[in-house]
Amino acid sequence: MHRTLIPILGLGLTVACGSPPQTASLAIHDVTVIDPLSRQVLPDHSVFVSEGRIVGVEPAGGAAFLATDSLDGSGRFVIPGLMDMHVHLFRDARVARPTLNLLLANGITGFREMASDCWDATVEHAFCTDSLRELTRDVAAGGRTTPRPLAMSSLPINGVSQRGGLPEGAPEFLAPGTADDGRTLAQWLNARQIDVVKVYNSVPRDAYFALLDEATGLDMEVSGHLPLSVSVVEASNAGHRTIEHARDLPVACGSYSDTYRKVMARVVAGDDGVNGPSAFERIRATLDAFDESVCAAVLTTLAANGTYLVPTHGTREMDYLAGDSAYRANDRLRYVLPPIREGWEADLDRTAGASDDLVEMYGEFYALGVRLSGMAHATGVKVMAGTDSNDTMIIPGFALHDELARFVESGMSPMDALRTATATPAEYLDRSGDLGTISVGAVADLLLLNADPLADIANTLSIEAVLVGGRVQDRATLDELLVSVEAAVSAWDGGADP
């Protein structure tokens, strides 16, 4: 990558007769600007940065700005930094550092951590909400160049059946069983200044709706999994903000939804002799009951309510590829720490033990989920890119590019796929115009690409440089980050922060 210092006085002679130019600290010259927010494509432009923000987007060769440093954008493309809206750092500093390095090396400049709160922060190597808040401040101040934590969630909120997993001495309402528990929990999490209350599968209906109502009154977001007894439409109508994973929506898109939810309500309640359907029964019934007209009504409701969809398709891909030897030999596994890899192998082995018929249905279920992302987008549902990074076979950083490719496969244009990781997360965060755009005043989180992502979405991987708050990480630096992760994997001993 050509990077030069531009002498201000020399260039100043060319503009002496006009208005004095503004000074910028960095320019990306002669580049094609792709702005997902406005959907504009601007060939032969220059982007000017100062004090961490974009101060100008001008036709190349103009005299409005002078820059003390520059990047050569000739034949290249600049897009906003990507955002991964479902990441797990496992609340462990030994996992956090290599994960952040993988994200940055892949052009992810911001992320939403979906289980960041530690109810017992005294454990060794804890990296929890307070650590993420400190990191947010450091990045904003220019002290560290790493992806920005954009939102942080509670630990997953489960129901009374999970109370045995709570830390010793923890209040029982952390696994709510009643409406009163739900309201108390919302107040407790609000006092901890949690951004997102992450609900999980086994919360009873009364506790869930009370938690959601109380949280809404406290201006807190409730997102995450849907309780097994609550439908997508019920959750959306009540204000559940993001639907995570491509599991619940396929069920909602057919006549099986009511039957399934009623049974699961009894299972969650612990009714004697009541068991939920097997994976085979659930998926077969979901696939057989799928109805486009039912789905259209569900998606229209989500769009009208402003409910976001974060499908994390890679987690469903794993279900049906768990036994595939080529899938399990992914070369990117060299970036995965040994304890995480061991957990993945155990999960893959369990999943691969499914019958051939069930594996085939897992593949159909995955394909239906991808299709539904395209249908949701076409209906006006706001779809965001998230990966479930560090879940089984979801390799941080790389996984987001895989997800963008799936969105294009679903029927989205490459521009709309880019929006799922840029403009749409910015809107969700109430930071439109500040993040996810290349426009004056926006934070200078940018990717410089060697190939056009609108011609082929896979070109988001052709990264020449990443800018975080205007701080340039060139290709050599990004490669060093990848090498550092490989070194951490090789040196792992379960001890100090790698």
Q: Output 53-57 pairs: Cβ under 8 A, ≥24 positions apart.
A: 53/441, 53/442, 53/443, 53/444, 53/470, 54/438, 54/439, 54/440, 54/441, 54/442, 54/443, 54/444, 55/22, 55/24, 55/440, 56/22, 56/24, 56/440, 57/33, 57/438, 57/439, 57/440
- Domain end position, chosen among 401, 428, 455: 428
Per-residue pLDDT of the chain (498 residues; tens, 9 = 90+): 544 433 333 333 333 456 789 999 999 999 999 999 999 999 999 999 999 999 999 999 888 999 999 999 999 999 999 999 999 999 999 999 999 999 999 999 999 999 999 887 677 899 999 999 999 999 999 999 999 999 999 999 999 888 888 888 889 999 999 999 999 999 999 999 999 999 999 999 999 999 999 999 999 999 999 999 999 999 999 999 999 999 999 999 999 999 999 999 999 888 989 999 999 999 999 999 999 999 999 999 999 999 999 999 999 999 999 999 999 999 999 999 999 999 999 999 999 999 999 999 999 999 999 999 999 999 999 999 999 999 999 999 999 999 999 999 999 999 999 999 999 999 999 999 999 999 999 999 999 999 999 999 999 999 999 999 999 999 999 999 999 999 999 999 765 443
Q: What is the CATH number of the domain that holds 65?
A: 2.30.40.10
Q: Cβ-count burial of 306 within 10 angstroms (0-12 exposed, 13-18 middle, 19+ buried)?
A: middle
CB 464 within 8 A of CB 455: no
235 plus 249 within the same structural domain: yes
Q: Return the pLDDT at 415.
A: 98
> What is the SS3 assignment for 69?
coil
CB 403 within 8 A of CB 366: no
* Helix or strand holding residue 454 (H, E): none
- Domain end position, chosen among 396, 428, 460: 428
Cα angle: 111, vertex 244, 251; to 5 degrees: 165
163 plus 24 within the same structural domain: no
Q: Cβ-count burial of 448 within 10 angstroms (0-12 exposed, 13-18 middle, 19+ buried)?
A: buried
Q: How many domains does the chain have?
A: 2
The whole-angstrom separation of Cα 5 and Cα 3 is 7
135 plus 208 within the same structural domain: yes
Q: 75 lies in which domain range?
A: 3-80+440-491
Q: How far apart are the first and last CA of the chain?
A: 30
240 plus 318 within the same structural domain: yes
Residue 340 lies in a domain: yes
Residue 496 lies in a domain: no
CA–centroid distance for 83 within its chain: 6
333 plus 479 within the same structural domain: no
Q: Return the pLDDT at 158.
A: 93
Residue 435 lies in a domain: no
Q: Return the pLDDT at 413.
A: 98
Residue 272 lies in a domain: yes
58 plus 126 within the same structural domain: no
248 plus 394 within the same structural domain: yes
219 plus 328 within the same structural domain: yes
343 plus 386 within the same structural domain: yes
Q: What is the CATH number of the domain that holds 242?
A: 3.20.20.140
The whole-angstrom separation of Cα 415 and Cα 409 is 13
The whole-angstrom separation of Cα 437 and Cα 445 is 9
- Domain end position, chosen among 428, 448, 482: 428
Buried b / exposed e along 111-139 (16+ C-beta atoms within 10 A):
bbbbbbbbeeeeeeeebbbbbbeebbeeb
254 plus 267 within the same structural domain: yes
Provide the whole-model pTM: 0.94
Residue labelled with tokens 């709309």: 416
Residue 497 lies in a domain: no
Q: Return the pLDDT at 17.
A: 52
Q: Return the pLDDT at 121.
A: 64
Residue 166 lies in a domain: yes
Residue 209 lies in a domain: yes
> Could you tell me which residues come within 8 angstroms of residue 89 by beta carbon, excluding any fewer than 6 positions away?
95, 96, 99, 100, 113, 116, 127, 390
Residue 498 lies in a domain: no
Q: Cβ-count burial of 278 within 10 angstroms (0-12 exposed, 13-18 middle, 19+ buried)?
A: exposed
Cα angle: 373, vertex 158, 254; to 5 degrees: 35
Q: Where are the beta strands (DSSP E) in 272-409?
A: 308-310, 382-383
348 plus 470 within the same structural domain: no
279 plus 308 within the same structural domain: yes
Dig out the tokens for 433 from the structure.
Answer: 């115009």
